[in-house]
């Protein structure tokens, strides 16, 4: 009966806190349950880019897509970490990755499920962009191009090869994103497969010796080139197009057309093993791999490159055939990525 | 019971994530002896020490000028001084990077000094306010102005150290500012980059091990400062009369100018720059309309979290009064703040992604838990400080008159510390609106305004990003403005 008044006070405060928290939760969550069919999509693509495709899927199927994305600043780390930590009790159905490396790594960690039989819409995707075992499928790619500021670089001097980054005449004027994440990491890792250990190391040492700038992301690199702080650098076609659309004096050069070709990195989609909505996951994957989704992404201001033939697209969106494409084994690249990541982290200090 | 709540909210997730140290000992050990790690800790420490070297004297001087002297408009100055703190460092960067052609370590240090100096000012000011007239006069009689200055410094230093440690926590956990400010020129890779790379390579044991030096670097000076602060704060004269302000003479206008310049650089310039980049009211209104759901969600979440923090901190700090060695409780509260946000996110998933807990894990509940667990220190520090400094004679008189603890708490303690409780709420609210890295790993975190802003950086038009950053800054600062308008006094942080 005679409980300590302070304890009573504490209990009162705790109860008030509990009631307050419940009220806040009710306010924050809104009222009532949600009976609508749904599918949970984790995507490393930023939401504004993915949204038109998602909206179309929702419109066609009536299935609500719960979108969990990432930011440029966090560079997919949070998203991949969530998928790994949730693997014993998965909360996602589909993983839409803007590149391939993390997809392959998640496959190796047992996070992904095999799609057997493959989705109908995957039929026309070139073999190079599909996992032979059916764990992931590529679509809507980006090319790794050299973005060049046309106010700073004369037409006669235009760079046209990755080796221009190591050319003495561009000392301190070129840029490459520090290759510890995203498409730059995939690109640099792929070089080991394409031109071999020795040549890739020579290229990387050349980039370091030539005092290339190392911006935090491809979007930032493209902005810096557009603003004239850097003459040129490697970026993705999607980031180039954003800067071009802003009216900056830039052009994109598809490098190494006479030798190894230009790297093309597809978006990848895969099903999460044990996800809560397997049927809807299949429907969403089927839609993402459809001609319609590739067409929407091609017409997006970021201009993704369709991998399927005969997709309607703006004429400035070039497709394989308009330029030589580097032949990459994405599975092998994904398998090597952790080792290379550590090497790059040490060399680009 | 309260301790259990604190442990559940903050420490269990930390423990669950840090357990990888023991689950993968070989990986953890190789991460600790990795030759890449220590030079990066060195770089981060260099940046932190340079920042502290500027921030501590600047902060102490501003606090001393605003509290202990007859500086003109010092009351207003004290009210405005917290503002730069509530703009995230990356907003400072986005707002005036490009205006000033600075990059590399000097730029990083400059941003941190501007962003974090209010920690030192607010905390030191609170200590300096406690110097009594009798004490100050005695010191002056014994040793003159020089002795007064040294004594003031002795009083303010532990609090300033706590401010420095709070800044250190944010500096050690941040890689975005260094990454962004070394986009052009020599790259500066910092300690947080290494933790990030381990996460990227999916080496959770290595990430946990790499976090340990940073946690220790924060906790060791914090424990020293908290113990010193409690020793100094324990003797409050019941007939307390604040010391008379010292006369500055002709230099006071020049010194006032210094504070005005700091406030202009720290608050006005970023806000004006963002408004200028946004271009027009139409852009700002359009963005506000487009993000109205997120703004509402973020404000409600921040308000609920701040309320939770205050409601938890209040009884907790009252309980701390009864402990002989209460500094360990501060350390328990502070620990989740010192842990890198991604590690806390991993811990939260491990604790809350379980059957029957879906309502919490998939909804805003887990965000509330994350925010309260992580930022409880920002409510506990000011509330604890206020409770410590209460006039004991009133409480003793009430006790002798037969009032029990509950009555004394409700009738005496709470009214006396009410303004600090409101200030603690404002501070807690502001910090919840800065959080991104932990919330990004949780589904409901995607509905917040910071996530919306950072997912648009680079991808959206520059004016839209500036407008969103301005909206975030406005929402963050709003409660502080309301507090200042209603209370007409500076917030108290210790």
When the pLDDT of each residue in chain B is averaged and rounded to a whole number, the result is 85
Distance from CA of B335 to the nearest CA of A (A): 21
Looking at the predicted complex, does its ipTM rise above 0.85? no
A110 conformational bin, left if phi > 0, alpha if psi -120 to 50, beta if neither: left
**Residue B165 placed within a domain:** yes
Q: Which of B98, B197, B301 sits opposite A341 (nearest CB)?
A: B197
Q: Domain A38-141+266-320: give its CATH architecture.
A: 3-Layer(aba) Sandwich (3.40)
CA distances in angstroms from B367 to B4, B12, B371, listed in the order given = 19, 15, 6
Within 8 A of A70 by CB-CB distance, chain B residues are 440, 455
Distance from CA of B446 to the nearest CA of A (A): 7
Cross-chain Cβ contact B314/A13 below 8 Å: yes
CATH classification at residue B208 = 1.10.3720.10
A140 conformational bin, left if phi > 0, alpha if psi -120 to 50, beta if neither: left
Within 8 A of A339 by CB-CB distance, chain B residues are none
Within 8 A of A80 by CB-CB distance, chain B residues are 200, 202
pLDDT bin (cut points 50, 70, 90) of residue B491 is low
Q: Which residue has 């507090």 as its token pair?
A: B483
Question: How do residues A123-141 score in pLDDT, each as one tens digit?
Answer: 889 999 999 999 999 999 9
Q: Which of B180, B363, B410 sits opposite A29 (nearest CB)?
A: B363
**Residue B492 placed within a domain:** no
Give the whole-number percent of chain B exceeding pLDDT 70.
93
Give the CA-trace dihedral at B416, B420, B426, B432, to 10 degrees. -120
Residue A252 to residue A323: CA distance in whole angstroms: 12
| Residue A135 φ/ψ, nearest 5 degrees | -85, -30
- Predicted confidence at residue A30, as pLDDT, reads 47
Please list, in sequence order, all residues whose beta carbon lies within 8 angstroms of the beta carbon of residue B287, skipping any fewer than 6 positions away. B464, B467, B468, B471
Pick from B383, B382, B314: nearest CA to B123? B382
Within 8 A of A97 by CB-CB distance, chain B residues are none
Give the range with max mean pLDDT: A264-273, B316-325, B369-378: A264-273
Q: Which residue has 């006396």 as its token pair?
A: B416
CATH fold for domain A142-263+342-347:
D-Maltodextrin-Binding Protein; domain 2 (3.40.190)
Q: For the residues of B365-414, what is the DSSP string, one character each?
A: HHHHHHHHHHHHHHHHHHHHHHHHTS-HHHHHHHHHTT--HHHHIIIIIH
**Extents of the domains making up chain A:** 38-141+266-320, 142-263+342-347
**Residue B314 placed within a domain:** yes
Cross-chain Cβ contact B311/A16 below 8 Å: yes
Distance from CA of B287 to the nearest CA of A (A): 13
Within 8 A of B407 by CB-CB distance, chain A residues are 5
Higher pLDDT, B172 or A148: A148
Within 8 A of B193 by CB-CB distance, chain A residues are 345
Q: Which of A5, A70, A346 sits opposite B440 (nearest CB)?
A: A70
Within 8 A of A9 by CB-CB distance, chain B residues are 315, 318, 405-406, 409-410
Residue B494 has pLDDT above 60, yes or no: no
Within 8 A of B1 by CB-CB distance, chain A residues are 10, 14
Cross-chain Cβ contact A13/B315 below 8 Å: yes
**Residue B493 placed within a domain:** no
Residue B17 to residue B404: CA distance in whole angstroms: 43
- Predicted confidence at residue A5, as pLDDT, reads 46
Cross-chain Cβ contact B440/A74 below 8 Å: yes
Cross-chain Cβ contact A9/B318 below 8 Å: yes
Q: How many CB pairs under 8 A join A and B?
A: 201
**Residue B494 placed within a domain:** no
pTM for this predicted structure: 0.86
Within 8 A of B462 by CB-CB distance, chain A residues are 246
Higher pLDDT, B123 or B389: B123
- Residue of chain B minimizing CA distance to A42: B443
Cross-chain Cβ contact B454/A224 below 8 Å: no
Distance from CA of A92 to the nearest CA of B (A): 10
pLDDT bin (cut points 50, 70, 90) of residue B472 is confident
Higher pLDDT, B464 or A27: B464
Residue A124 to residue A289: CA distance in whole angstroms: 9
CA distances in angstroms from B385 to B382, B425, B465, listed in the order given = 5, 14, 39
Question: How do residues B86-132 score in pLDDT, each as one tens digit?
Answer: 877 777 887 766 666 778 899 999 999 999 999 999 889 888 888 88
Cross-chain Cβ contact A86/B443 below 8 Å: no
- Sign, Cα dihedral of B181, B184, B189, B192: positive
Question: How far out from the chain centre does Cα B174 lie?
Answer: 14
pLDDT bin (cut points 50, 70, 90) of residue B448 is confident
Cross-chain Cβ contact B304/A91 below 8 Å: no
- Residue of chain A minimizing CA distance to B301: A28
Distance from CA of B180 to the nearest CA of A (A): 6
B53 conformational bin, left if phi > 0, alpha if psi -120 to 50, beta if neither: alpha
Among B181, B315, B428, pick the best mutation site for testing chain A contact (most A Cβ within 10 A). B315
Q: Are B364 and B301 in contact (CB under 8 A)?
A: yes
Higher pLDDT, A24 or B45: B45
Distance from CA of B311 to the nearest CA of A (A): 6
Q: Which two tokens stand for residue B9?
A: 């909210």
- Residue of chain B minimizing CA distance to A231: B184
Report which secondary-structure segment, H or E, holds B17. helix B12-18
Question: How do residues B173-214 score in pLDDT, each as one tens digit?
Answer: 888 889 888 989 899 999 999 998 898 888 889 999 999 999
Interval B62-90 mean pLDDT: 86
- Residue of chain A minimizing CA distance to B315: A10
Distance from CA of B445 to the nearest CA of A (A): 9
Q: Which of B193, B350, B407 sits opposite A5 (nearest CB)?
A: B407
- Residue of chain B minimizing CA distance to A247: B461
Interval B147-159 mean pLDDT: 88
Question: How far out from the chain centre does Cα A177 lie?
Answer: 14
- Predicted confidence at residue B196, as pLDDT, reads 87
Cross-chain Cβ contact A5/B455 below 8 Å: no
**Range in B154-168, B237-251, B385-399, B417-431 with the lowest mean pLDDT:** B237-251
Q: Which of B200, B444, B458 sits opposite A220 (nearest CB)?
A: B458
Residue ranges making up the domain that contains B332: 2-234+243-487
- Predicted confidence at residue A9, as pLDDT, reads 47
| Counted domains in chain B | 1
What are the pLDDT tens digits along chain A (349 aa)?
344 444 554 454 555 555 555 555 555 554 444 556 999 999 988 888 899 999 999 999 999 999 988 776 556 677 888 899 999 999 999 999 998 988 998 999 999 999 888 888 888 899 999 999 999 999 999 999 999 999 999 999 999 999 999 999 999 999 999 998 889 999 999 999 999 999 999 999 999 999 999 998 898 899 999 999 999 999 999 999 989 998 999 999 999 999 999 999 999 999 999 999 999 999 999 999 999 999 999 999 999 999 999 899 999 999 999 999 999 999 999 889 889 999 999 898 7
DSSP B442: S
Tell how strand A232-236 and strand A112-113 pair up: unpaired
Higher pLDDT, A307 or B15: A307
What is the SS3 assignment for A97? strand
Q: Which two tokens stand for residue B432?
A: 């919840």
Higher pLDDT, B402 or B310: B310
- Residue of chain A minimizing CA distance to B308: A17
Residue B67 to residue A153: CA distance in whole angstroms: 57
- Predicted confidence at residue B481, as pLDDT, reads 82
Q: Which of A46, A79, A338 sits opposite B201 (nearest CB)?
A: A338
Interval B400-427 mean pLDDT: 84
Within 8 A of A48 by CB-CB distance, chain B residues are 455-456, 459-460
Q: For residue A95, is the peptide bond before it cis, meaning its omega torsion is within 30 degrees of 0?
A: no
Cross-chain Cβ contact B458/A72 below 8 Å: yes
**Residue B401 placed within a domain:** yes
Residue B492 to residue B422: CA distance in whole angstroms: 10
Q: Which of B176, B307, B346 sits opposite A20 (nearest CB)?
A: B307
Among A17, A272, A337, pick the best mutation site for testing chain B contact (most B Cβ within 10 A). A17
- Sign, Cα dihedral of A219, A225, A226, A228: positive
Cross-chain Cβ contact A214/B443 below 8 Å: no
- Predicted confidence at residue B235, as pLDDT, reads 43
Cross-chain Cβ contact A9/B405 below 8 Å: yes
Cross-chain Cβ contact A46/B459 below 8 Å: yes
B205 conformational bin, left if phi > 0, alpha if psi -120 to 50, beta if neither: alpha
Within 8 A of B405 by CB-CB distance, chain A residues are 4-6, 9
């Amino acid at each position: 009966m005679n409980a300590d008044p302070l304890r009573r006070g504490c209990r009162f405060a705790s109860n008030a806190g509990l009631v307050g928290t419940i009220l806040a939760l009710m306010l924050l969550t809104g009222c009532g349950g949600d009976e609508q069919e749904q599918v949970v999509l984790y995507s490393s693509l930023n939401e504004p880019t993915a949204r038109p495709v998602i909206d179309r899927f929702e419109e066609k199927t009536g299935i609500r897509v719960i979108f969990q994305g990432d930011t440029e600043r966090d560079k997919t780390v949070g998203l991949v970490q969530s998928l790994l930590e949730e693997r014993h009790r998965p909360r996602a159905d589909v993983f839409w990755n803007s590149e391939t490396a993390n997809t392959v790594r998640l496959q190796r960690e047992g996070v992904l499920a095999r799609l057997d039989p493959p989705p109908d819409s995957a039929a026309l995707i070139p073999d190079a962009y599909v996992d032979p075992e059916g764990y992931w499928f590529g679509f809507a790619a980006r090319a790794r191009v050299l973005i060049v500021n046309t106010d700073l670089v004369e037409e006669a001097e235009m760079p046209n090869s990755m080796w221009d980054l190591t050319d003495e005449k561009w000392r301190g004027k070129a840029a490459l994103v520090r290759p510890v994440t995203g498409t730059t990491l995939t690109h640099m890792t792929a070089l080991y497969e394409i031109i071999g250990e020795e040549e890739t190391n020579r290229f990387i040492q050349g980039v370091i010796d030539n005092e290339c700038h190392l911006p935090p992301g491809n979007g930032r690199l493209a902005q810096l080139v557009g603003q004239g702080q850097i003459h040129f650098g490697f970026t993705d076609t999607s980031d180039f197009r954003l800067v071009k659309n802003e009216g900056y004096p830039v052009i994109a050069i598809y490098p190494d057309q006479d030798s190894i070709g230009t790297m093309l990195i597809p978006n990848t989609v895969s099903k999460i093993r044990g996800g809560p909505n397997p049927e809807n996951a299949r429907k969403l994957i089927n839609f993402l791999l459809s001609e319609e989704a590739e067409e929407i992404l091609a017409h997006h201001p970021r201009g993704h490159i369709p991998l399927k033939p005969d997709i309607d697209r703006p004429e400035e969106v070039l497709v394989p055939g308009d330029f030589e494409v580097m032949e990459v084994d994405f599975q092998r690249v994904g398998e090597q990525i952790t080792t290379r990541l550590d090497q790059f982290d040490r060399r680009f200090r | 019971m309260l301790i259990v709540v604190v442990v559940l909210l903050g420490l269990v997730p930390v423990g669950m994530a840090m357990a990888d140290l023991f689950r993968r000992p070989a990986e953890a050990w190789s991460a600790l002896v990795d030759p890449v790690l220590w030079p990066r800790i060195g770089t981060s420490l260099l940046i932190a020490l340079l920042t502290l070297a500027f921030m501590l004297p600047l902060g102490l001087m501003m606090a001393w000028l605003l509290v202990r002297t007859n500086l003109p408009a010092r009351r207003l100055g004290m009210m405005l001084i917290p503002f730069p703190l509530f703009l995230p460092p990356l907003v400072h960067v986005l707002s005036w990077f490009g205006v000033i052609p600075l990059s590399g370590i000097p730029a990083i240090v400059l941003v941190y000094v501007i962003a974090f100096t209010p920690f030192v000012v607010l905390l030191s000011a609170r200590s300096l306010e406690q110097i009594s007239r009798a004490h100050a006069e005695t010191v002056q009689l014994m040793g003159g102005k020089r002795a007064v200055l040294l004594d003031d410094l002795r009083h303010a230093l532990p609090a300033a150290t706590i401010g420095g440690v709070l800044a250190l926590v944010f500096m050690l956990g941040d890689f975005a500012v260094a990454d962004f400010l070394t986009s052009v020129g020599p790259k500066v890779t910092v300690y947080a980059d290494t933790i990030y790379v381990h996460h990227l390579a999916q080496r959770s044991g290595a990430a946990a091990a790499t976090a340990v030096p940073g946690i220790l670097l924060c906790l060791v000076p914090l424990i020293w400062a908290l113990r010193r602060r409690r020793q100094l704060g324990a003797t409050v004269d019941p007939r307390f009369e604040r010391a008379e302000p010292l006369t500055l003479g002709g230099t006071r206008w020049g010194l006032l100018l210094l504070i005005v310049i700091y406030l202009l650089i720290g608050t006005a310039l970023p806000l004006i720059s963002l408004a200028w980049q946004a271009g027009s009211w139409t852009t700002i209104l359009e963005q506000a309309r487009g993000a109205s759901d997120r703004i509402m969600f973020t404000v409600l979440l921040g308000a609920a979290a701040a309320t939770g923090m205050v409601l938890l901190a209040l009884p907790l700090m009252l309980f701390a009064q009864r402990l002989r060695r209460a500094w360990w409780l501060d350390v328990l509260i502070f620990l989740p703040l010192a842990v890198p946000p991604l590690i806390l996110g991993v811990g939260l998933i491990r604790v809350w992604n379980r059957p029957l807990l879906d309502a919490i894990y998939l909804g805003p509940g887990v965000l509330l838990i994350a925010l309260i667990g992580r930022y409880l220190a920002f409510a506990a520090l000011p509330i604890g400080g206020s409770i410590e400094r209460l006039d004991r004679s009133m409480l003793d008189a009430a006790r002798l008159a037969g009032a029990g603890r509950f009555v004394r708490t409700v009738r005496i303690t709470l009214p006396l510390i009410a303004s600090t409780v409101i200030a603690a709420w404002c501070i807690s609210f502001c910090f919840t609106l800065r959080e991104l890295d932990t919330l990004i790993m949780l589904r409901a975190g995607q509905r917040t305004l910071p996530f919306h802003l950072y997912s648009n950086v680079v991808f959206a038009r520059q004016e839209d990003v500036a407008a969103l950053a301005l909206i975030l800054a406005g929402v963050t600062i709003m409660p502080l403005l309301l507090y200042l308008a209603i209370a007409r006094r500076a917030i108290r942080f210790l």
